Amino acid sequence: MVTGERFEDGAELFVNGEQQRKVSNDSQTPASVIVAKKSGKIIKPGDVLQIKNPDGLLSNQFTYTG
């Protein structure tokens, strides 16, 4: 789960520049929470996360610290 602001429906998650699969907006808070079930199993401290909205707008990069 990634929290933030202004996520649009269909936003994508990138981990170290690689687009992740099985990503969706949370049903109760879609504009502020992205759920990435498979990615949660592989992410580790030091990985760089970024969200891309369907309009092409990229979030700031965030380094996962665990």
And the tokens for 7? 């996520």
* Cα–Cα distance for residue pair 65/47, rounded to 1 Å: 8
pLDDT in tens, 11-43: 999 999 999 999 999 999 999 999 998 887 889
And the tokens for 44? 């580790």
And the tokens for 35? 């759920």
Region 45-60: what's the mean pLDDT? 95
Question: What are the extents of the domains in the chain?
Answer: 2-63
pTM beyond 0.85: the answer is yes
